[in-house]
Structures are given as C-alpha cells and as structure tokens.
Structure 1
Amino acid sequence: MTTSSMDQMSRAQREALLARAKAARISKNDGARQDAIAPRAGGPTQWPSSFAQQRLWLISQMGEQASAAYHVPVHFSLRGPLDADALQAALDRIVQRHETLRTRFAPVDGQPMQRIAEDGRFSLLRHDLSGQADAQGQLAHWIDIETQTPFDLAAGPLARGRLLRLGEDEHVLLLTLHHIVSDGWSMGVLIDELSALYRAYALEGVPAQTDPLPALPIQYADYALWQRQWLSGEVQLKQQAYWREQLDGAPALITLPTDRPRPAVQEYAGASLDLELDEDLSEALRALSRKHGTTLYMTLLAAWSALASRLAGQDEVVIGTPVANRTRVEVEPLIGFFVNTLALRLDLSGSPSVAELLARVREQVLQAQAHQDVPFEQVVEVLKPARSMAHTPLFQLMFTWHNASDGDAVRLGDLQLQALPEQERRSAQFDLSLGLQDVGGRIVGSLGFATALFDRATMARHVEYLKALLRGMAGDDSQSVDRIALLADGERRQVLEAHNATQRDYPQGQCVHRLFEQQAVRTPEAIAAEQDGQSLSYAELNARANRLAHHLRTLGVGADDRVAIGMPRSL
C-alpha cells in the first residue's frame, strides 16, 4: 500500500492495518518458538478457560457489583430506514460464528470450565419509545438498566442487546457483553461483522441462513487450550522470572490520600470525570514525545506516575496498563477475552528531570511489552503478594491509551450507524482509572474513581493537577518533575495564606487553665469535648479536671512539678 493511499484512510483504518502488520511480524518471528494454534478435535462439551477468564470468573464470585464492573457496553444511534429483522439475523449469525458468544462457565473442582452451546441466538429485546413524552428519559433509563443488569455466567448468554425505537427512522442499539467473552478489540470485530452482515442481508439479498464472511480459522477455546500448553515451559519460566525480578519488593498499595478510609471489602461502585487538553497543550505533548523518542502513551503515563508519586509520597508507583495481546494472526478476527494487563513499576526516585523520567518510562514500557505473553494472573501467582479483599493485587491505578477512530458514521445504504458518547461510569475496577485518546487534535478522556474512597471534588482537583504537570513538562523538559507547580494561584493562596491566617487576640498574662475556668463560668452547659457520640459540657469537664487536680495534690504533686501522662485519647 502506498503512502498516499494510507493518507486517504481513516485513522482507525490506519491503526488497524499497522496493528495487523505488527501482529503478523511478531507471529512470523516467533513462529520457531510458538506452536501453531490448531482447531481442537471434537469430543468433550466443556473446555478449560483461559487464564484471564479464570481471573474474571473468580472476581464475579464476589458478587453482582463486582461482576458488573466488567461489563463492556457500546451504544449506537441508527438513523434512516432500519430492517430490524436483518439486524437480528446479523447478530444471530455473529453468535453462530463465534463460540465465545455461546459460552457459559461452570466450576469443575473449583475451576471454571467453558461450556459451549451448539446453537444460539443473540438476545435482542425491542422497545418502542416513539410518541412518548419523555422518550429521552426512557432512553436514559434503559441505558442504565442495560449497563447495570448482571450476567449469569453459569447460565448465559453473556452478550445481549436492546433496540429502542425513537421514531420512524431513528433507533438506538444498546449492546452489552461481559468482559469474560470480549475486550475492546472484540467490539471492533463485532461492529465490522455486524455492518457486513446487515449490508448483505438487508441490501444485497443474501439469505439470512448463509454466512457471506470468511470462515474463522480457530475459536477462542482453541486459543485457551494452546495458551495453557504453550505457557508451560521455557517461555513461561523466562517471562515469569522477568516479572519476579521487576516487581519483587514493589509497593503493594498506593498510599494516595483518600476522602474516606478504605473499606475492608472492595465495593466496585464508581463514577468518572471527563478530561480534555486543549489543542496547544496536546500538540506540545506530541512535540515533547517526538523529541525524546516516546509515544504519547509513554509521555502521559510518565506524567500520571509523577502525579501519583507526589500525592502518595512514594518514590515508586505501580500502574496497570492493558495490552491487546493479539500477537498471532489466527486470533485477530476472533471475539474473545485476549487483553492482558501489565503491571509497570515506575521509579521516581532521585528527583529526575522530565527528560530522565521519560527515558525511564520508555525503557520500562518496552521491556514490559517484550514480556507481555505471561498472563497477569500468573504474575500474581509467582509473586504471591499478601492478598486483601480491600484492593486489587499489585496495583490499584490503571492507565489506558485508546486508539480512537475519527468518529465517522458507518453507512449501510440509507442507514447511518454511529457510536453514542460513553456514559458516565457507575462502577470502578480499581481505585483510579485514567483513560485517554487523541481525537481531532485534542487529547481527551476520563478519570474513573472508586466512590468508596474519593469525592468528585477531589478528583476534579486531581484532573487540574495533571493538567498543570503536563503543562510544566511540555514547557521545560530539563526541570525536575517534582518541582513543577501543581496548584493554581487561587488554591496556592488558599493553602499558604488563608489556611494559615490563624492570628487571634488572646488575653495576655493568664494561664490556659484560668481561661478555661472563666469559659466554664460563662457557658457551663456548652459542649467542650465530644467523642463517639458522647460529650462533656464545660462544667462537667471542669469538675473532672478539679477532681484530678485534688487527687494529684494528695500524691504530693505541687506547682511546676512535671507529671507524665500515659493513656488513650478519650473523654
């Protein structure tokens, strides 16, 4: 393909092409050490889950809210004449093509097994909201229901949808899959196939019983079997050794200041804040990345690690980041849970300059990506960190860089399909999750947070701190990262001046116990001290103080004698 023809492609198409080329090269280079993924022979009706599926299944056992944190929703606006039967037929065909959409999970000896149905249809419910006075309110209601309704991993199905009719030529399609059978790449595969199949059935007259798409070379269960066989020898040991060396002794918990104490059991409730960098700052960060040989992903990761380090008071932070993990051509066209998570240990010690930090992060990311094959679940097992129900192991911060499309609508004849903006999150897999992408020349995204720990106002300040840090990094790459000012002028004045404006006029020449006694005379019934729902008035506290004073005098204590006190803080 020529350069000019690539320039005419959309960003999404270019990124997909480059990703496929990279996967093909990796597959070719690794061919000598990787056995081919072959279709499994017939026989059993249940198959081992992948390592990633095994982890999500265990998380789902913690309750519906934990499982709902791993829903993958995507919503589309459909404008134009819609053939609803062709849409249903296209979705049904996708279920037939991909075994993972016909899979449920049942435990065998405490481990989840994939049970794959021979046949199945896509569960698409239909609602007619046209003519209703509050159609938009009803739309928001169904979006909330669809996003939050739990899946039954044992009974299935683990993919569902709702088609909402708003008018003659206006519909909204809500699709929700559980992460255990899908990931971000999978949603792209689903939309590509849905577009092709709908076009074939609705516009080209292809019978709905046929499949005009190329046959899939393997299924997800084939990959799961191959993964368990391949990651059982030298490759596994080599990569496990890398992660053991990298993460041994790393901080197990990020010590960010929180608005509330951490619950004993992680609650998974969450919210999110939108984030947008203006075009000037976005371009300055691109220039900074070009200068230091980093990607935007690396530069933004460096900034967030620096912010987390300063807020937590830690020289090291561990941040999780996802990788597509589709390094084999065979798995590219599959819907399934392939994405892996890398735990990046980032070193902020020694007051590095912006340039030095970028170099450290770049090296760490490249090394981690070279050892991305071993599943995160195995890394946890190798390191054996102290397990806690209160937080995720190894890291509690997640950073994701999304390869954004141009947002162009897909045209299916006279029907236009376009993704709706993401809804605010209602769940949180981690303490904080920062997701960013480059859209229309601006870096945009959102900061998700656990509402059990943080208030929205606190997160709004964090967003402003991150912007200030990024501006400082882009403005001078020779300065120490920890010297970049985070506070705006107003907040700085509040912290340094307003909060320290504590000057008061007090009576001079009197001891504090005399002042207290005078206050007890003036307001004997006023509350002087409180603890755990109990309180003492000034009169009561003064009486207790006098009793203690008389007791000390009987022990021989006189004026100016020192008395050591050892007791819990209490009334």
Structure 2
Amino acid sequence: MVERDAARTPVAAGDPTAAPHEVRAPFAVAAGGPVEAPLTWGQRAIWQAIRRTAPSDHYFNMARVLPIADRGGPVDVAQASAALGRLMERHDALRTRLVTGDGEPRQIRHAAGSLPVQVFEAALIEDADTVAAAVAERLGATRFDYFGAWPIRAGLIVQGGRVRYVALALCHVATDGHGVEVLVRDLRLLIRRGSAGGPTSAGPLDLAHEQSSATGLRRGESALAHWETHYRRIAPTVFADVVAEPAAPRFRTVRLVSAALARATDAVALRHRISPSAVLLAGAAVLAARAGGRDTAVMLPIVANRFRADSRDLVTTLSQEGLFVLDLDPAAYFSDLLPAAWQASLRAYRSAGYDPDRWNELMRRIAAERGTPIRPFCCFNDMRLVDRPPTAGPAPTTAELDAARSHSRVEPAGGHEFIACRYCMHVVSEGDALVVSVTGDTAYLPVHALEAHLVALEDLLIRAASGREVPIGALTGFAERVAEPVA
C-alpha cells in the first residue's frame, strides 16, 4: 500500500529544488514492540566522528542512484514504494533510530512505521538521469535527524508514470559503504522479483551483543595492543606545520582520474603477490611521510571488518580505523618496501575491530605519558566493495603506461567547512580508471600540494611498474615542495 499526502508537482529538467510530492511506504514485521541495545563498535566510532564534525556531519552521508528503467518491465510509484517498505522490513538497521542513554546514545529497533518517499518528475526521458543525480545529491546534502527520523531518505524519479531511477541517501550510523551496496542490490531484487532471498541472519543489535561478550572483548583488546605498541613511538602527527593561510572553505578535495594508475597498481601488486589496495595504501603513506618529513609512514586505513561469512552482507556500520605503520629506509626503493608493507597492511586490518571507549582511554593514557596527543590526522579509505586480485596478463610496457598517463586528469572536487582530519584519501573505480581523491586542511596542505600529491602517487607507481624508481630518500612526497612553514 502507498499513502499519498501531497499533490503532484513536476520537477523541471535538472531542477530538483522544485517541490516533489510525497508518498508513504509503510512497513511492519512480525516481531513485537521496539527493542533497545547499545551501539556497535563501528556505530560508536562513527558517532564520535559525527560529533567532532558537527554541524558539517552531512560529510558522512552516502548517496546512491539505482537505475530502474534499464531492464525489465515498467515500474510505477506504487510498486517502487512497496519495495522500499519491504527493504525496511528486511534490514533491521533501516528501522533503527538512536535514543538518549547514559553517556553515549543507544539504538532502538522498531517493528512498524512508514518511510516518506519523495517523487520527482522529469519532463523528458533524457532529463531523468540528470534529475536523479541532482536528487541524490540533494537527499545527502543535509545532516540526518539521528533521533527522530529513519536513517534512509528515498526519492523516485518518474517520467511518464514510470519510475526511471531511485535515489537514496543513507546515514553512516546505520550502515557503511558495503552495507549501502547490499541495500541497493536488495532493492533492485525487491522491485524486479518481489524478493531479495531468504531472511537476513543478523542485524546490528545482534552484533552489539556479540561484541559485549567475553569473546568480543578479548578480540578488541588484541587489536588495541597493536595501537599501544606503535602509538608509543610514532610522531604525534604527520603534517605538523601550518604552511599557508587556509582557503575558504578550509577543507578542499582534489581528485585524480587515471587508467595509468590502475594498470600500474595492478602490475606492481601482481609482481609482488599482494593486493592492489595494499599497494595504494603503501604509496600514499610513504609519500605523506616524506612530505611531512617523517622516517616512519603512518596511515589510518578505514577497514571494512567483513572477514567473516556471517558479516559479509550485514547491513550495519562495521568499518573502523586500523593502524598502518611502516619504517622507511631512505636508500631503498618503493618496491623493496612492499613485502613489509603487505605485512603492515594485514596487521592494520586486524587492528580495526575494538571498543572505541577503550581506545579513547588508551589514547588519553599514552598522551599523558608522552606529554602530547598522538593524532596522525592521515586516513585512507579504499571504497571499492572488495579488495579484488590484480588483473592478470602481460605487464604493461613503459610506453603503454606513459600513453595512458597522457589521458589522466587532476581536478577540483568540492570543499567542506570542517573535517576532523588533515588528510583523507578515498579510492573508487570508474570504468578502467582509478579515481583517487584527497581532502586536505589547506592550512597544512594547500590545494596545489594536494594536486601535486596525486601526481606524485601516480608517478611513484608508474615508476615502480616500469623499473624507473628513485630511492625513497629522493622523494619529497609531492611533485613540488610545500611552502615553508608560516611563522
């Protein structure tokens, strides 16, 4: 059933700011009333990040567009809305809101309710994709009401009575990037087949109880031991010096789109029998260390924590920060570091499941002992769904890599008023290219330095793939040096 509560208002092509009309997607499950539980480790970690970033915490929202008219029969608003209701029923995380507790909030799972769904009309079929992208951006552009609204927003893009796209925005407290892809997959199946398969095996409340068990706590303490070992010896931060007047907005994002980087990364990974993601993590960490004047590379990778079969398709926030630490030999080449980098990445992955409150206690204790907070302010997030193996086949030649590099582009990709970090790298795929973006605090990393860093990463890996490396000690970290520190 779909409940209508507003008159239809068309959206002009490319103008999603015009008022949509709204329908309701009711849902109800057989379970009883609301159930309350603590937050999971991943939820608590992202909640703490949200609090640090507020009121700019919409930065953590995730938006997706699902094409509907690309296959199968026509789908109308009633069918699409009903599928969204069944999606709410299928995944506990979507029916969960925060509730005030003693100290940190807790979560409460509801058994029934309705999801508001906005309906936008595109004037022409060729306008629908433009409107869909703009609607997704609009849905994710404002912070969620974590206590009073569902952690999902949905919009239907309609042309001629047929739903062409579904636009979604998800709250990071409810799920991480992998969980979003599970939701998109399940929604497509619910729309096309009426079912997304058997019931899900668990939800965030089950995970919260498991993490509170003796086994879960032991696993968390083991991860924290890795942090304690290295936080006693690494530099307090990677980029310590203010080098420029900050831009407005202060935090800027620059991205590199490069098929050459994709091919070079795969070639290096295949040659050294490690994952492409570990190659990129090591490259970014080495260049950041050199730019910051450090002899030890430190990076905080965002780890999916989906190593177990029962958590692989769980819709919740499992991802947490791990700790990657790699000592550098200035006389060595990047390729020489990769065996140690692979082991360091595995230790980082294993260090990413822990109780954030216990982590905070550890950080306070080490800061007191060392006389300063230890905050690398340097993170890495490979957002591709799986750490796929490198593409097999003949290694690309030097000429092929140089030719591919001629098509690479570095471009601005927006800005933010505040992010609780100084350097954040994100990796996604776009066709046969890698898209690597860096968001930086322009007081420490001006825009030209961010651009140069991306160029340097591409150069580092192309050199490693083609046998043209220079020693680590010869790397500045950027293709051009950052300005001298501001007095």
TM-score, length of structure 1 as denominator length: 0.64
- Residue 382 of structure 1, aligned match among 359, 362, 385: 362
Structure 2 vs 1, CA of residues 334 and 271 (structure 1 numbering), >3 Å: closer, same or farther? same
Structure 2 vs 1, CA of residues 135 and 249 (structure 1 numbering), >3 Å: closer, same or farther? same
Do 2:286 and 2:477's aligned partners in 1 also have CA atoms closer than 8 Å?
A: no
Which residue pairs with 2:204 in the alignment?
220
- Residue 178 of structure 2, aligned match among 179, 185, 200: 185
The offset of 1:226, in angstroms, is 0.8
- Residue 240 of structure 1, aligned match among 224, 230, 234: 224
Does residue 1:120 correspond to 2:113, yes or no?
yes
- Residue 277 of structure 1, aligned match among 258, 283, 304: 258
List runs of 5+ in structure 2 lacking aligned partners. 1-30, 387-411
Out of 250-259 and 68-77, give the one that drifted further. Answer: 250-259
Do 2:69 and 2:164's aligned partners in 1 also have CA atoms closer than 8 Å?
A: yes
Tell me which amino acid in the other structure corresponds to 2:111. Answer: E
Please give the alpha-carbon distance, in whole angstroms, between the structure 2 residues aligned to 1:477 and 1:377.
46
Tell me which amino acid in the other structure corresponds to 2:145. Answer: D
The offset of 1:186, in angstroms, is 0.7
Do 2:56 and 2:143's aligned partners in 1 also have CA atoms closer than 8 Å?
A: no
Which residue pairs with 1:87 in the alignment?
80
Which residue pairs with 1:68 in the alignment?
58
Structure 2 vs 1, CA of residues 198 and 135 (structure 1 numbering), >3 Å: closer, same or farther? closer
The offset of 1:184, in angstroms, is 1.4
1:151-170 superposed matches below 5 A: 151-165=144-158
Please give the alpha-carbon distance, in whole angstroms, between the structure 2 residues aligned to 1:192 and 1:132.
24
Give the greater-gyration-radius structure (CA). 1
Tell me which amino acid in the other structure corresponds to 1:432. Answer: Y
Task: Provide the identity percentage.
Answer: 22
Do 1:256 and 1:308's aligned partners in 2 also have CA atoms closer than 8 Å?
A: no
Please give the alpha-carbon distance, in whole angstroms, between the structure 2 residues aligned to 1:362 and 1:197.
40
Which residue pairs with 2:42 in the alignment?
52
Tell me which amino acid in the other structure corresponds to 1:395. Answer: P
Structure 2 vs 1, CA of residues 177 and 159 (structure 1 numbering), >3 Å: closer, same or farther? same
Please give the alpha-carbon distance, in whole angstroms, between the structure 2 residues aligned to 1:230 and 1:328.
18
- Residue 340 of structure 1, aligned match among 307, 320, 339: 320
Please give the alpha-carbon distance, in whole angstroms, between the structure 1 residues aligned to 2:129 and 2:32.
49
SS of structure 1 residue aligned to 2:212? helix
- Residue 176 of structure 1, aligned match among 144, 150, 169: 169
Alignment deviations for residues 470-523 of structure 1 (CA, whole Å, 9 cap, x no partner): 2333333774222258777xx79xx9xxxxxxxxxxxxxxxxxxxxxxxxxxxx
Which residue pairs with 1:306 in the alignment?
286
Please give the alpha-carbon distance, in whole angstroms, between the structure 2 residues aligned to 1:486 and 1:326.
32
Does residue 1:329 correspond to 2:309, yes or no?
yes
Alignment deviations for residues 168-218 of structure 1 (CA, whole Å, 9 cap, x no partner): 6673422111111011111121122111111124xxxxxxxxx66312222
Tell me which amino acid in the other structure corresponds to 1:52. Answer: G
Structure 2 vs 1, CA of residues 258 and 83 (structure 1 numbering), >3 Å: closer, same or farther? farther
Tell me which amino acid in the other structure corresponds to 1:147. Answer: G
Does residue 1:459 correspond to 2:450, yes or no?
yes
SS of structure 2 residue aligned to 1:150? coil
Which residue pairs with 1:432 in the alignment?
423
List runs of 5+ in structure 1 lacking aligned partners. 1-40, 202-210, 406-422, 496-568
SS of structure 2 residue aligned to 1:238? helix
SS of structure 2 residue aligned to 1:313? coil
Do 1:271 and 1:449's aligned partners in 2 also have CA atoms closer than 8 Å?
A: yes
Please give the alpha-carbon distance, in whole angstroms, between the structure 2 residues aligned to 1:302 and 1:83.
48
Which residue pairs with 2:238 in the alignment?
254
Structure 2 vs 1, CA of residues 61 and 290 (structure 1 numbering), >3 Å: closer, same or farther? closer
TM-score, length of structure 2 as denominator length: 0.74
Please give the alpha-carbon distance, in whole angstroms, between the structure 2 residues aligned to 1:44 and 1:144.
32
Out of 67-76 and 126-135, give the one that drifted further. Answer: 126-135
The offset of 1:424, in angstroms, is 4.3
SS of structure 2 residue aligned to 1:334? coil
